[in-house]
């Protein structure tokens, strides 16, 4: 690179027109560089975010401008049983799926951190569920959960003989909820495992050697070396995971569409159902806005996770 | 564990000297390591196998588990794929998805490179806060934006047009790409740019001729990742596109291939499989970049 720069040294000097000098003006350059990103994000992210909060205080419907109605949307949601179910489902879905994903993901990461043959191939295979469009793999799960032709039922009933009847996965509220959670865990494991594996690989082996010389057993090494060293990255991955599980839409929409009888709606799917096909934009926006407090909590958690990480590294970046 | 380690401690094997500690061995290793690992791989991959096998099964085999082993297919058929490609709008959906993903990725990369360069290299007062703002923008999920965005799209007259998707996808692509590229720019020594500038290069020339070529791996990571994210996007495409022929693959498979109560599982699975193949191919070529961008984004 340095060679290239030297070769072109003379030519740079010659064409310094006013335009070139303008582009070397730092404030101008900063403004020009930030403009495309800032414009797109302000128009299509910040503005809709504000608009969403405003819409939640109006009775807007599709094709009809709304009027300010104060907290009426939130009041009606407060007594809305379907909304209660959606909030409850969202909390259940997020907590159970997160525990599942992190338990299994951490286990998988620890397994992958061993000295294995075909390690990079294995890592590549494991990421596949995360790469493939969620909706398309959700359709595969829909078929796996089919009441008549479910392969899981087939194995349990016809191959192993553990059950008498085929499982009605999506026809009853509780089985449907757990089926969705299982599909979410399935999709989340690769992300957690590969991120945590990256964290595990940064832990110096000498720490384990030192712990072993001090007589620490496997569990003690995990608890006192692996876990604290993994904590910063775990906090970030956890935040992202909680955030995206909490606002999940695709999986539920693809597999149950909130059914049977609205019993598996998450807040996001309910907001969609009321807002777009139902046309009640104001009410849909109110449901979406009701998610914000939870998201803020998750973000603060992330912020402190990051802060802690910086403190551990020493203040060398930035 | 302790006595095992003590007895083996004196002989430093090759593995140990390279930093990988591996004391357990034999049957114990099979049970604690290979068995769970194999289970993980089987569970993670089974839905794809099931998708593929269903896509090539004739209907008679598909709906009769008693006489056919459901895990295998006796007389594979291309009927489902054939039907999908020639009797539905599937090729068009693929084309739309591809076009939207490519344009949205290009637009986001352009905006992100400039933004990341401004934040990381043209340090200015508050550049850290701009970086933080962009990070926070990544944390705003589409699920809370799509309703107001739908009204905005309607006001702009973009409803039911691919432009709606091209302009809204950057809202989650730019934060991600910028964040990734800031991290990447950080790893390139600033001295190289200083050299060029001392030699008389302008800032833009430095960016174009020095920084960008060096940041190529970062750009590739961000690009393929952005492409994958736009290919997989669902909620905006579902909310902003109405006409059947303009839908993207994930939306169209779910809404157009399901007719009433009769599910054509064969063609549904074929649709899901074909829709996954472009990203899968891209993925197989750039695995390392994916892993780098995934872990890079988390670490930054």
Domain range holding A42? 15-51
Indicate whether A40 and A178 sit together in one domain. Answer: no
Please, what is the average pLDDT of chain B?
83
In a domain, A67, yes or no: no
> Same domain for A156 and A262?
yes
CA of B44 vs chain A CAs: smallest distance (Å): 7
Nearest CA in chain A to B203: A24
What DSSP assignment string belongs to B120-153?
HTS--TTHHHHHHHHHHHHTS-HHHHHHHHHHHH
A51 CB neighbours in chain B (<8 A) are 148, 151-152
- Give the Cα separation of A240 and A243 in Å (integer): 5
Residues from chain B contacting residue A249 (CB–CB below 8 Å): 142-143, 234-235
Instruction: Express each pLDDT in A247-260 by its tens digit.
Output: 999 999 999 888 78
Is residue A43 located within the same domain as residue A119? Answer: no
Q: How far apart are CA A224 and CA B38, in angstroms?
A: 28
Residue from the list A33, A115, A240 with its beta carbon closest to the beta carbon of B22? A115
Confidence of residue A305 (pLDDT cuts 50, 70, 90): low
Interface touch B239/A272, C-beta < 8 Å: yes
Same domain, A179 and A92: yes
What confidence category does residue B298 fall into, taking pLDDT thresholds of 50, 70 and 90?
A: low
B121 and B185 Cβ atoms separated by less than 8 Å: yes
Average pLDDT over residues A283-302: 85
Select from B113, B125, B127, B121 the least CA-distant residue to B194. B121
Number of alpha helices (DSSP H) and beta strands (DSSP E) in chain A: 18, 0
Q: pTM of the prediction?
A: 0.85
Indicate if A106 and A29 belong to the same structural domain.
no
Report helix, strand or coil for B182: helix
A-chain residues near B209 (CB < 8 A)? 4-5
What's the rounded Cα separation, in Å, for the pair A35 and B86?
45
The mean-pLDDT minimum among A76-85, A164-173, A184-193, B106-115 falls in A164-173
Q: What is the least distance, in Å, from the CA of B212 to any CA of chain A?
A: 11
> Dihedrals φ, ψ of B259, to 5°?
-110, 110
pLDDT (0 to 100) of residue B259: 67
Q: Which residues of B touch A32 (CB under 8 A)?
A: 114
pLDDT at A315: 40
Domain co-membership, A28 together with A99: no
In chain B, positions 162-221, which contact chain A (CB-CB < 8 Å)? 167-168, 170-171, 174-175, 178, 186, 192, 195-196, 199-205, 209-210, 213-214
What are the C-alpha distances in Å from B295 to residues A24, A91, A152, A200, B214? 35, 27, 34, 12, 20
Considering only CB atoms, which chain A residues are within 8 Å of B291?
123, 127, 194, 198
Q: Is residue A68 part of a domain?
A: no
Residues A153, A28 share a domain: no
Listed by number, the residues of chain B in 60-89 with a beta carbon closer than 8 Å to a beta carbon of chain A are: 62-63, 65, 70-71
CB contact under 8 A, B65 and A154: yes
- Would you say B44 and A128 are in contact if contact means Cβ atoms under 8 Å apart? yes
pLDDT digits (tens, 9 = 90+) for A149-203: 888 888 888 888 888 888 888 888 899 999 999 999 999 999 999 889 988 988 8
Return the residue of B nearest to A244 by Cα: B141
Place of tokens 């299982």: A182
**Chain B nearest-CA residue for A254:** B254
Q: Which of B63, B109, B237 is nearest to A134 (CA)?
A: B237
Instruction: State both tokens at A111.
Output: 């397994």
SS3 B241: coil
> Domain check: are A139 and A37 in the same one?
no
Given a contact cutoff of 8 angstroms between Cβ atoms, the answer to whether B247 and B97 are in contact is no
B298 contacts on A by Cβ (under 8 Å): 195, 198, 233, 236-237, 240
Nearest-angstrom CA–CA distance, A90 and A272: 14
Question: What CATH number is given to the structural domain containing A96?
Answer: 1.10.3720.10
Chain A contacts in chain B segment 91-150 (CB below 8 A): 107, 110-112, 114-115, 117-119, 122, 124, 128, 130, 134, 136-137, 139-150
Asked if residue A64 is part of any domain, the answer here is no
Q: Which residues pair with A277 in a beta bridge?
A: none
Mutation site, A140, A194, A205, interface B, largest B CB count within 10 A: A140
Quick check: A64 pLDDT over 70? yes
Q: Model confidence over A4-42: pLDDT tens digits?
A: 545 555 444 545 677 777 777 788 888 888 899 999 999
Q: Do A9 and B199 touch (CB under 8 A)?
A: yes
Give a yes or no: residue A285 inside a domain: yes
The verdict on B222 touching A (C-beta cutoff 8 Å) is no
Task: Say if residue A102 is in the same domain as residue A215.
Answer: yes
Say whether both A92 and A45 belong to one domain. no
**Residue B209 DSSP one-character state:** I
Residue A170 falls inside a structural domain = yes
Collect all residues of chain B within an 8 Å Cβ-Cβ radius of residue A209.
21
Question: Looking at CA atoms only, how far is residue B123 from chain A in angstroms?
Answer: 9
Q: What are phi and psi of B263, to 5 degrees?
A: -95, 125
Query: 3-class DSSP state for residue B263?
Result: strand
User: Residue B52, preceding bond cis, omega within 30 degrees?
Assistant: no
Chain A hits for B271, CB-CB cut-off 8 Å, are 136, 139
What gap in Å lies between CA B42 and CA B35, rounded to an integer?
A: 11
| Strand, helix or coil for residue B259 | strand
Picking from A126, A248, A285, the nearest residue to B148 by CB comes out as A285
| Measured distance CA(A149)–CA(B273) in Å, rounded | 19
**Please, what are the domains in chain B?**
1-52 (no CATH), 88-299 (1.10.3720.10)
Distance, in Å, from the CA atom of B99 to the CA atom of A263, rounded to the nearest integer, reads 37
List CB contacts (< 8 A) between A154 and chain B.
65, 70
Give yes or no: residues A121 and A20 share one domain: no
Chain B partners within 8 Å of A140 (Cβ): 47-48, 50-51, 269, 272
User: Which run of H or E residues covers position A137?
Assistant: helix A134-144
Nearest partner of B95 among B239, B284, B248, B241, judged by Cα: B248
Q: In this model, does residue B121 exceed pLDDT 60?
A: yes
Q: Is the dihedral of CA A62, A64, A68, A72 positive or negative?
A: negative
Contact A40 B171 (CB under 8 A): yes
Average pLDDT (B215-231) is: 90
Tokens of B18: 């390279």
Kindly give the residue spans of alpha helices, DSSP state H, lying in B169-214.
170-186, 190-198, 203-206, 212-214
- B297 pLDDT band, cuts 50/70/90, is low
- Condensed to tens digits (0 to 9), the pLDDT of residues A90-120 reads 999 999 999 999 999 999 999 998 888 888 8
In three-state secondary structure terms, A160 is coil
Tell me how crowded residue A10 is: count the other CB atoms within 10 A of its CB.
10
Q: Across the interface, do A37 and B111 touch by the CB < 8 Å criterion?
A: yes
CA B234 to chain centre: 13
What's the burial of A122, exposed, middle or buried (CB within 10 Å: 0-12/13-18/19+)?
Answer: middle
Residue A34 lies in a domain: yes
Same domain, A209 and A81: yes
Query: CB distance B122–A2 less than 8 Å?
Result: no
Q: For B279, which of A33, A132, A254 is closest by C-beta distance? A: A132
Contact B213 A272 (CB under 8 A): no
CA nearest to A42, candidates B269, B46, B266, B152: B152
Q: Within a domain: residue A209?
A: yes
Number of domains in chain A: 2
What is the radius of gyration, based on Cα positions, of chain B?
Answer: 25
Distances (CA, A) of B147 to A51, A60, A62, B136: 9, 11, 10, 20
A10 domain residue, yes or no: no
- Per-residue pLDDT of B273-292, as tens digits, reads 988 988 888 888 888 887 77
């Amino acid at each position: 690179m340095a060679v290239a720069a030297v070769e072109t040294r003379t030519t740079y000097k010659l064409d310094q027109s006013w335009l070139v000098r303008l582009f070397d003006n730092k404030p101008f350059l900063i403004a020009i560089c930030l403009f495309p990103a800032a414009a797109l994000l302000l128009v299509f992210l910040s503005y809709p975010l504000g608009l969403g909060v405003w819409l939640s205080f109006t009775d807007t419907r599709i094709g009809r401008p709304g009027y300010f109605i104060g907290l009426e949307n939130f009041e009606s949601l407060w007594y809305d049983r379907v909304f209660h179910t959606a909030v409850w489902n969202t909390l259940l879905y997020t907590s159970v799926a997160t525990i599942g994903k992190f338990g299994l993901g951490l286990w998988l990461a620890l397994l992958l951190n061993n000295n294995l043959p075909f390690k990079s191939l294995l890592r590549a295979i494991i990421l596949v569920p995360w790469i493939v469009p969620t909706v398309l793999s959700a359709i595969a799960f829909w078929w796996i959960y089919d009441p008549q032709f479910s392969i899981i039922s087939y194995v349990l009933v016809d191959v192993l003989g553990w059950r008498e009847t085929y499982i009605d996965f999506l026809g009853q509220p509780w089985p449907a909820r757990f089926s969705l959670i299982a599909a979410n865990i399935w999709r989340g494991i690769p992300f957690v495992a590969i991120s945590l594996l990256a964290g595990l690989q940064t832990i110096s082996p000498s720490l384990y050697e030192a712990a072993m010389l001090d007589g620490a057993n496997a569990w003690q090494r995990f608890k006192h070396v692996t876990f604290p060293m993994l904590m910063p990255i775990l906090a970030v991955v956890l935040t992202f995971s909680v955030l995206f599980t909490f606002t999940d839409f695709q999986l539920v929409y693809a597999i149950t569409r909130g059914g049977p009888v609205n019993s598996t709606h998450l807040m996001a799917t309910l907001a969609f159902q009321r807002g777009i096909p139902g046309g009640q934009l104001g009410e849909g926006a109110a449901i979406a806005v009701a998610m914000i407090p939870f998201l803020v909590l998750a973000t603060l958690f992330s912020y402190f996770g990051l802060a802690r990480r910086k403190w551990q590294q020493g203040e060398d970046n930035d | 564990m302790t006595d095992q380690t003590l007895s083996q401690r004196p002989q430093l094997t090759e593995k140990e000297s390279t930093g990988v500690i591996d004391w357990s061995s034999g049957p114990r290793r099979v049970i604690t390591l290979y068995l769970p690992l194999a289970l993980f791989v089987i569970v993670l991959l089974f839905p794809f196998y099931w998708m593929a096998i269903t896509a090539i099964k004739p209907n008679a085999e598909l709906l009769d588990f008693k006489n056919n082993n459901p895990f295998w297919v006796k007389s594979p058929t291309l009927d489902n794929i054939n039907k999908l490609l020639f009797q539905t709008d599937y090729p068009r959906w693929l084309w739309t998805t591809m076009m939207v993903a490519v344009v949205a990725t290009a637009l986001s990369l352009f905006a992100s490179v400039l933004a990341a360069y401004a934040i990381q290299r043209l340090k200015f007062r508050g550049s850290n806060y701009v970086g933080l703002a962009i990070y926070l923008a990544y944390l705003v999920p589409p699920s809370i934006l799509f309703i107001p965005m739908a009204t905005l799209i309607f006001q702009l007259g973009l409803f039911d047009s691919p432009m709606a998707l091209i302009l809204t996808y950057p809202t989650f692509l730019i934060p991600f790409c910028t964040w990734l590229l800031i991290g990447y720019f950080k790893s390139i020594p600033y001295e190289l740019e200083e050299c060029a500038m001392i030699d008389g290069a302008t800032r833009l020339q430095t960016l174009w001729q020095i920084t960008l070529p060096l940041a190529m791996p970062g750009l590739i990571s961000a690009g393929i990742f952005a492409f994958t994210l736009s290919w997989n996007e669902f909620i905006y495409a579902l909310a902003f596109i109405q006409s059947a022929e303009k839908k993207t693959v994930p939306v169209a498979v779910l809404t157009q291939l399901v007719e009433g109560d009769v599910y054509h599982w064969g063609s549904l699975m074929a649709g899901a499989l074909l829709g996954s193949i472009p990203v899968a191919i891209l993925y197989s070529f750039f695995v390392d970049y994916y892993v780098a961008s995934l872990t890079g984004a988390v670490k930054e």
